[in-house]
Amino acid sequence: MSTSKRATDHPPHRVLLGPGPSDVDPRVLRALAAPTLGHLDPEYLSIMDETRELMRQVFQTRNEMTIAVSGTGSAGMEACICNLVEPGDEVLIGVNGVFGGRMKDVAERYGAVVHTVEAEWGKAIDPQQVADAFAKHPHIRAVGIVHAETSTGEHQPVEEIAHLVRQHDALLIVDAVTSLGGLPVQIDQWGIDACYSGTQKCLSCPPGLAPVTFSSRALERIDARKTKVTSWYLDVTMLRNYWGEQRVYHHTAPINMTYALREALRMVVEEGIEQRIARHRRHHLMLRAGLEALGLEYIPEHPLTTLNAVRVPEGVDDAVVRGRLLNEFGIEIGAGLGPFKGQAWRIGLMGSSSTPRNVLLVLGALEFLLRDIGYTGGSGSAIEAAREVELSAAG
């Protein structure tokens, strides 16, 4: 047997500018490598408490039931739905991309009667659609909406929809996987009842935990259930006993991932949430100026500052460009999904990946590759356009 090391023993360094994961700061990696404690060790329980308080600050909530679910963002989605939805409940889901569709699928799997309000991919759900759905289905008990649709780069306004949901005494469930830590997410101010995210996007932590928060109204709904929560692993009535004062064993928590999340949340709070949001916006504007100088068109109606979705120019092979970016420059960007397959590039600027250096790096590499394959679109230098925005912001 050969004693030479496999290539996978030493994964290459990539610049992660796709839809997630994002680059992880060395501080977070060092935290991840700290000695493992037992999941009921008093020191670890203290770390859990600090992590909860940091999550509350980032979610901008006072919700007692704010925890990190063991699993990625999709586990957070499932935790919110399986706890708040019983078989036969009428649920309204906004679908304008992959993750609205996934929320619909999950709700159906837990026995909900699902109604949908839909919008073209890259467009927002109109609050009037939600009002019309309540008029048609007055017994809707919960509404699910994606705040940042990762598949399209669409930023969904939430506040007006939240007001409508509260007027009809329903619960609002929000997907903030690609927005928490990079865009405003104001749980208490907006009146959101359940929200979930993931560690690997704007929080710039490795994937593996899903921050979730439940309002007191949501907990009342859970406590009033007529049936057991279908998922044992994600049952909040048991998880809150582990995260709360009783510390009742439920499952072995991912200890080192909690260390990492705590450090990532500390970095968010140290930077300042408003300052962090402004940084994401500033670098988005730089990137956007450069991409538009290359003649690339943004797809979404309300573009996210954390994830930029642009249309692949006609005659350009999406996979060839992405492959060369990865192999020649070590830069990862995302492909289009669903109807956008082969037609979109998704460029993430999230958390530690959102830097002027990365903006200029991806623009320079993309411009070089496009010119190298004969693309002649655009009106100027991508780098110069981005630098103008940077200098303007600095001045």
- What is the model's pTM? 0.96
pLDDT band at 391 (very low <50, low <70, confident <90, very high): confident
The pLDDT assigned to 333 comes to 98
pLDDT of 1 over the 50 cut: no
pLDDT of 8 over the 90 cut: no
Residue pLDDT, tens place only, 352-374: 999 999 999 999 999 999 999 99
Evaluate whether 103 touches 93 at the Cβ level (below 8 Å).
yes
Residue pLDDT, tens place only, 309-349: 999 999 999 999 999 999 999 999 999 999 999 999 999 99
Residue pLDDT, tens place only, 45-74: 999 999 999 999 999 999 999 999 999 999
Cross-strand pairs, 344? 311
Residue pLDDT, tens place only, 106-160: 999 999 999 999 999 999 999 999 999 999 999 999 999 999 999 999 999 999 9
Say how far apart CA 73 and CA 38 lie, in whole Å.
25
Cross-strand pairs, 308? 347
pLDDT of 5 over the 90 cut: no
The pLDDT assigned to 395 comes to 66
Distances (CA, A) of 59 to 27, 190, 209: 22, 11, 15
Domains of the chain and any CATH numbers? 26-270 (3.40.640.10), 273-394 (3.90.1150.10)
